[in-house]
Structure 1
């Protein structure tokens, strides 16, 4: 075995922006005591010859034009190193090993990586610890030794046999509580009592540790929505000024249940039933006819027809939203990265190709000084910036266009971050075959290997956080491997592959136990066949460890070899790990022992039925939609543009690739100057040949302040705003479908239970009134940190198929055009007049089809003035407003209203519509309102300045000498006086590339 070599790599002068940024951030902690920082990538390498190592230094480990290398330990006033925890996936080391195999033509080289930091300054005792706390997140990393490595082998203990948990059958109530606490289980007292009774009365034995862990995972809130399935025996509504629509919606829901299930139904009232009742009712009425239903529940799916070079084809349009709130809170980079990875896997398991993503997040104020960080918490700035890096890193590497990025700020999100990914996917309908597995079929695991990282991901995300969470949740968060998931995307895009698949499920939280366990009733799983990242994993770890880039597919036994060959063509491992049986039992074997043997009937109980009451508190009678008191127009406008939830997020958005795949129709920021935020995202369907005019339109709606005032109204307006933005993008809103994201505090009493109940009733009412169904959703109910709670969140996503040629961008187009406001009247109870909205939306789509609309934008938080200014920024075209609207309404929230740009002639026609007013005329370089003129540049500066310190839009303009590069020597020319063969095919190999060439 060759000796271990150590190499340090640092960026050359002129390429050290990361070091400058680190120094700036550490000055917030240490003040002027720190003067400079240096960052070195450290590589420990073995398995290479001297010749191969020398070659690799300049080809694998460094780029000579921008990197300097050295072998001696860097020096400084302070020197420290940081490395990933053992078992965490290290993409840099993995990629280096793959590149070494290519460069040397041999396998066997091993690489371990770390970051070495040196600091110069006048430090005092305690500074080293402060810096280390800033650099090290104990969930994922630790301080590394500066000593030379003696071995690159990971310490491996031979795993012991899985033990039986003795005495479970004899547990009393106190014993149940003690066991839950002792094993750190997420299940309830009632769940464990059911397990006790099942093993005592049916199995007549005590369970193994693996069986307890599998049931804890399988029945977790994350996997089985246990909170949403809790029986609500009573729902009360407190009387108040704004309570009437809540009571009416509750009655409407009760009547709908009778319509669906009959008057004497025993079906319990649950949050899940509230979330799905509207869709069931609309289906019963003959609506939602394009909904594609099957036993596989991978993602929301609708049937569409798209135009291709071969004519009109039947396709499936899939969409899905997913959260990774818990993992992103404790390990922002990995949590956000795997949020997108997990979101992609759901429609991918439906055999579709994911082609566009939307990111919606919630955070505390990232400008909060680091010194004000709560104990047990990471700084908000670190969470939001690292999460952005993680999500964008995964998306950019897998090659997925991110069409919209929006972050909401609210003090409640300090309790736990909100990290939502939403994706859009599509596939030809004839690529998707769905069949029921039958005995004799086999289950193939395809994709990444299993490791200890990811243990407890499902149960951990179902718990609230406390001050110890950062220290104790390390194994729950995985590092994603987007390149492996990209390979699965390529594999599943091939029709000859997907037609072999009878059923598919993605691996996520819960690992083998859930991904394979959900496929069919009877399964015999051989855990010894599960590919491992390293040795030493025991049966329990193999059964429940999460993995981000794996799929479980059911194929006929005779098709298994062919499927495995197809996987190998994409450089993917594929292994048969289970057989489908007729036993209706989930059986897992490890090293010859049966460590899980549970009946399907018991698994499918999903644990003990929880019973609660809900009480919906009245909204504050001061109201939310009050008229703004405008005393100084200029100051009010400038302040509104700088508001944390109004200001530009371009610096954040530009970290994400919005055009990869060449399907993006509207850029995230429109206009000549790319300053107008787009109301959503539009992308063409990912056809393999030729062009198409068929596109998907997607938008979202949410206001955390409104939801805090009234979860019912907040959810209702979230739905309305998502649909209004869809209209503003040029879509036919009547073809829209919805999917919802619910995120609430830990529910501890009937008032807290009333918050999600109110929100779901608000969404239910809007679905019924608009005739649009939420055919999917995701709930997360653990948004609590000590006594801090997330705002009662319901985010609505709306999607519709349409034509790319009809997409409307939001920036103003032409001087002389006129702006028309399609208003949205509200009732005294705070609810929107939906008859007016529907009439406006229908009218506007007809005008879109006729080509009469230059720009549209749904009125946002901050009102008409803020929204119009955003429209003006893209092409720097000002507006002279008339006085058809009271001054106070320009700065009041006006959700459901839409501002439209059109010609002066058409504006007169538009203004004849009910609740419609001409706002003003486009032109000039300023905004004029009630006699006050404000330069567009002043408003733009206010708009862009708020988040620039957190997400800078451009590099600092620092005067520096350009580095002197050595002159290159002329390359001598050689002439060969003979005929040489010429290559006919050039095949470039680019490891790590995120797209096909």
Structure 2
């Protein structure tokens, strides 16, 4: 076969991946003799001519200033050893896919293929060292080692085999069914399999196809049908002991709630019933009128009022939580990325736009030695670091802000990682139509194509993890393609389209069979019409594949043409694959044969209802709530204070947190880390509702509650305080507890038939029930995962409570101390000897805090968590380095857990109202002070010393890059304030939208606020015809505009190996390039590129031919607030600003290091980072212009600024770049 092999290696000074691997191999694997690591990407170009190869290398693969290029043979030195890896066939490879798309655009040909692999070259190691590195680096579930010089290309061909009919299935006896279950990898238990057999014997009177059995297996899996949660609990027993009366009283309350809700109707007791009974009771009491009533239940949905430019509108606020524990344990990057992608599609299927996401994870201490990794497991450090990258990259590329990040460390999570995403979304009420599918309606598959990825994921995620899983679960791995999902997000945001959708489901577990199969009782699905990634899939694979980024939509047949036209506008693939039928059957055909024909009534049985008993055991001796941690007992109070801050579950997670994009979308109210020094963790996440036209003061709030040490001591108290903690954090951010709605995530060990194991989730839910009952605050959603076991190791009993509500932006506060000389007090929630609280006191405390926050008398607050008052004071002090002087306090009171209590900073002295009401629950703790220290018990702890202790524990895993500021400020003042010769009152801005753009909404809003007319244009690439049409249309629109705006994003995932390549190809098209040159040379136009747009400007040579951009010096994605200093008055984009002026903006990039081949003193360096240099740019460069100043590119996200945003950060001012650009035309 004709192929040409290209080797691309980043030059050593820019090879951040190689540097990172060298550090990891030396430090973590203890291979100290290793002196150098090289990373080389191999590209095999197939069906390519020599001329085409040269063009592909020059335009796509190779940058002379940054890369080394080798052809045919890779140079290896004598003291180097090498191994090469490639992904398993059928798994999504973003680098390979992006390269293929770019080659198609460059050559206008569909038949040139590319295969990508990677070589790792190691200097000065032994053969034994090499094997150790390979064992660490190669995850067998996603990749394999291949010989360096080998070439293999297996073309995909259509299968000619029919789907198997299971011969003699209806005749198999019980023993034979056991063997069948094992042979075919069936996940359902034997009782369900026998029930299934009886159906085919009695109803269908035939043997089933393998598709039908696999489909039923998926439908009835714990993942899809909550089998464990729906199990009937026939008996509840309580162990004798101190807490038995507490448990008994809670059970009696539960029984009374059931009697009120169900009256005389029989309903089995189950975990699901216990989890949902509060919602039913509160709704029956008339206290849940805000919940949207719909049979589309992919996400919780409540009606809210949103003020837009002073007028209230009805909106839907949706929220959802989702885990991807099993996939992330097996393949961390893909599992974590699709955790977020799948979670986003749930409210998206409800037609809502996701504007903020929260990530809560559970792991064993990642600092453990590599040699201590359990057989059959990936190292904890590798899992947590790759999972971080996966979730982060998906969020950034799709444009969903990660508003809050927390990793919880507990030895039990070595059994199976917890990868938990929760998010909030919103949509105008009038844009959402809920219809009932009727016969004749059409089902359209929207979005990505179908491959083999994720096959068996639903059943696999319901299984216990074993030592063999890493080698046997390859097909269950899922890889995400966020650029495709971003297109669906844009599509569904069109009210003209969303109002056509009667019902929608996202493709997750079970693929076509579940996503389409759940839309209506009767369905006829034509599997041959499902678009495929490649040939060769059989009917079973098409029916069950869990390929990501797909949606199933039901519309009226009369709306088809209009619906497809909107899809085409947004460059989204859409295909009719099914229709709704009268007959209550799920029917699928493939290659002219019926391979599935199952009655809906049978599917809806969910199999045989399981039964179990529950035994709630007593908590172990001692009380988590009454004692301080053992390791602090023997230390003096000062030493204990520092030691407390070094606890791995208290210590700073700054290096982890800043790896996620917090500001994309431009609606973030609180950054995850607050204060001038960005060290005080926020209580939760807050964002403005994502309105498109106008300004709003309404924001969503989300918090979480869960403490593993408490839950391991007593699952009942763990669930009880998880709810209280999540509610308390809302109050500490300035929200009201009264309208909070909850959603739960339950994650427990595999229960089997062990009554005591069943007692753990029952007890946790019982505790959570009691809080909801007393506060009339319901959980209206949730997700359960009951497979947290690895041999005899189990995850801690995990019930995470998420609390959601809305508030006004002006009432939001954050935890970092705001000023010296403020009184700080504890608003204490008393806990009795049985670990219970007084709910009347809770309501009074939380109402008082809300009242004082709204009056401006409380200016910061934090809930008291694990680590007690000491942790709270320490974290509050660090953000702005404002010290604190304690009044007298007992050591036990300092470190004891006080869940539900809130620590507040008053705006000066304690308000008179507190003294007048004689509130004994408000206890003065001390005063803030200018001195940067904690003064306690006659001693003093310097804040800098505390910061050092606080940051050290996780620095080896998630290092914080300390950007150097060893550059001088540039002051170029030789420019003159230039304006356009021909004036235009309202200039027109064109914002083209490419595959992977995510900054178009914020850029458009900023230009409109500045007074421009804005037009957007989606550049279409689905077919070569679309491509040709888009070139001409883009060229035409450029000629009609005065300003070209290139938005931020991650076009084609910034692959291969760097961003800007897609836009370089598009703008170098002859039609487009001619229009671009005309825009600049003849029309006196302006261009602005932000982030990825700036990268494109550099690649196009519009800044300077000697300027390059590459990965940040740290090699990591960085998201934070930065200060930027204006360095030049050359550009009209800075006409309204002065040299030396400083402003604050969000930074979020992995590729922000500017490289200058030649020095510049001509004013093109428009601005510099002020102080720290987080990306490692030459001269601290933040933005640059063309030689005449009319083309500007910025690294920072200057479009993500607005009123009421980033309230917990110190802002040095707001830039005037957009206003200046518009005034250029005045």
TM-score above 0.5: yes
What is the aligned partner in structure 1 of residue 178 from structure 2? Answer: 177
Asked whether the equivalents of residues 241 and 621 of structure 1 are also in contact (C-alpha less than 8 Å), the reply is no
Report what 1:192 is aligned to: 193
What are the equivalent positions in structure 2 for 1:572-583 lying under 5 Å apart?
Answer: 572-583=572-583
Q: Does 1:103 align with 2:106?
A: yes
**Is the aligned partner of 1:914 residue 2:917?**
no
Task: Name 2:148's counterpart in structure 1.
Answer: 146
Instruction: Report what 2:696 is aligned to.
Output: 692
> Residue 806 of structure 2 aligns with which residue?
801
Q: Name the structure 2 match of 1:964.
A: none
Partner in structure 1 of residue 87 of structure 2 = 84
Superposition pairs of residues 758-837 of structure 1, within 5 angstroms: 758-837=763-842
1:725 and 1:984 mapped to 2: Cα distance?
Answer: 45
Aligned counterparts of 2:992 and 2:11: Cα–Cα separation in 1 = 28
The aligned residue for residue 859 of structure 2 is 854
Match of 2:1172 in 1: none
Name which of structure 1's ranges 46-55 and 824-833 shifts more when overlaid on structure 2.
46-55
Distance in 2 of aligned mates of 1:266 and 1:990: 56
Q: Whole-Å Cα distance in 1 between the matches of residues 910 and 142 of structure 2? A: 59
Provide the rounded CA distance (Å) in 2 between the counterparts of 1:171 and 1:48. 55
Residue in 2 that maps onto 1:162 = 163
The secondary structure found in structure 2 opposite 1:31 is coil
Alignment coverage as a number of residue pairs: 971
**For residues 338-737 of structure 1, what are the structure 2 equivalents within 5 Å?**
338-628=338-628, 629=633, 631-737=635-741
The structural deviation recorded for 1:984 is 8.5
CA deviation profile, 1:646-698 (whole Å, cap 9, x unmatched): 01111001110000111000111111111100000100010001211010011
Task: Using the TM superposition, give the Cα deviation of residue 564 of structure 1 relative to its aligned residue in structure 2, in angstroms.
Answer: 1.6
For 1:978, the equivalent position in structure 2 comes to: none
Establish whether residue 869 from structure 1 lines up as the match of residue 874 from structure 2.
yes
Distance, in Å, in 1 between the alignment partners of 2:156 and 2:576 is 29
| 2:244 counterpart residue number | 243
CA contact (8 A) 1:199 1:207 kept: yes
Residue 958 of structure 2: aligned partner? 951
Contact 2:325/2:417 (<8 A) preserved: yes
Q: Where does residue 1218 of structure 2 map in the other structure?
A: none
Q: Report the equivalent of 1:967.
A: none
The question of whether the paired residues in 2 share the 8 Å contact of 1:39 and 1:118 is answered with: yes
- Verify: 1:41 aligned to 2:41, yes or no: yes
CA distance in 2, matches of 1:540, 1:223: 18
Structure 1 unaligned regions, length at least 5? 962-982
Q: Deviations over 1:718-763 (max 9, x none)?
A: 1111011110111111111000000000002111011110011011
Alignment of 1:206 onto 2:207: yes
Structure 1 residue 955 displacement after superposition: 5.8
In structure 1, the residue corresponding to 2:31 is in which secondary structure? helix
How big is the shift at 1:218? Answer: 0.6
Aligned-partner Cα distance in 1 for 2:326–2:797:
16
Preserved contact between residue 376 and residue 469 of structure 2 (Cα < 8 Å): yes
Rate the CA distance shift 1:108–1:145 in 2: closer, same or farther, 3 A. Answer: same
Give the structure 1 partner of residue 17 of structure 2: 18
Shifted more, 62-71 versus 167-176: the winner is 62-71
Q: Kindly indicate whether residue 141 of structure 2 is the aligned counterpart of residue 136 of structure 1.
A: no
Q: What displacement does 1:159 show?
A: 4.5
1:957 and 1:363 mapped to 2: Cα distance? 32
Does the Cα contact within 8 Å between 1:338 and 1:479 map onto a contact in 2?
Answer: yes
Q: Does structure 2 conserve the Cα–Cα contact (< 8 Å) formed by 1:243 and 1:829?
A: no
Aligned-pair distance for 1:956?
Answer: 9.2
Worse overlay, 130-139 or 808-817: 130-139
Deviations 1:962-982 (A, max 9, x none): xxxxxxxxxxxxxxxxxxxxx
- 2:134 counterpart of 1:127: no
Tell me, in whole angstroms, the C-alpha distance in 2 between the residues paired with 1:178 and 1:593. Answer: 28
SS of equivalent to 2:357: strand
Q: 1:43 to 1:370 in 2, by over 3 A?
A: same
User: Equivalent residue of 2:141, what SS?
Assistant: coil
RMSD of equivalent CA atoms: 1.9
- Can you give the 5+ residue segments of structure 2 that lack an aligned partner in the other structure? 968-986, 1001-1046, 1048-1226
Per-residue deviation, residues 383-420 of structure 1 (Å, max 9, x unmatched): 00000000001001101110000000000000000000
Question: For residues 989 and 248 of structure 2, what CA distance do their matches in structure 1 show?
Answer: 71
Judged with a 3 Å threshold, the aligned counterparts in structure 2 of structure 1 residues 64 and 844 are, in CA distance, closer, same or farther, namely farther
Return the match for 2:933 from 923, 926, 947. Answer: 926
- For the Cα contact (< 8 Å) 2:857–2:911, is it kept in 1? no
- C-alpha deviations, 1:266-294, integer Å up to 9, x for none? 31111000000011011111112211110
- Write out per-residue CA displacement over residues 35-75 of structure 1, whole angstroms, 9 at most, x where no aligned residue: 21100121112344444433332432234443222223141
Q: Contact 1:159–1:537 at 8 Å: present in 2 too?
A: no
SS in 1 for 2:836: coil
The answer as to whether partners of 1:642 and 1:943 remain within 8 angstroms in 2 is: yes
CA shift at 1:958, angstroms? 14
TM-superposed CA distance for 1:13, in Å, is: 2.9
Take 2:363 and 2:647, find their aligned partners in 1: how far apart are those partners?
15
Residues 362 and 413 in structure 2, CA contact (< 8 A), matched pair in contact too: yes
Moved more, 92-101 or 370-379: 92-101
Determine the structure 2 residue equivalent to 1:979. none
Q: Give the superposition deviation at 1:17.
A: 2.5
Distance 1:499 1:570 in 2: 17
> Is 1:993 aligned to residue 994 of structure 2?
no
Residue 936 of structure 1 pairs with residue 938 of structure 2:
no
How far apart are the structure 2 equivalents of 1:994 and 1:517?
A: 32
Task: Give CA-to-partner distance per residue, 1:149-175, whole Å, 9 cap, x none.
Answer: 364x43546241111112222232212
Any conservation in 1 of the 2:4–2:48 contact (CA below 8 Å)?
no
- What is residue 7 of structure 2 aligned with on the other side? 8
Distance in 2 separating the partners of 1:992 and 1:553: 23
Structure 1 residues 46 and 616, CA gap change in structure 2 (3 angstroms): same
More moved, 930-939 vs 19-28: 19-28
CA change 1:435–1:334 in 2 (3 A) is same
Instruction: Give the aligned partner of residue 974 of structure 1.
Output: none
Give the equivalent residue in structure 1 for 2:1222: none
Shift of 1:448: 0.6
- Per the alignment, do residues 987 and 957 of structure 1 end up closer, same or farther by CA in structure 2, a change over 3 Å counting? closer
Of structures 1 and 2, the one with the larger relative CO (CA 8 A, separation 6+) is 1
Specify the SS of the correspondent of 2:117.
Answer: strand
Cα separation, partners in 2 of 1:985 and 1:723, compared to 1, 3 Å: closer
Deviates more, 1:927-936 or 1:272-281: 927-936
Whole-angstrom distance in 2 between the partners of 1:480 and 1:150: 25
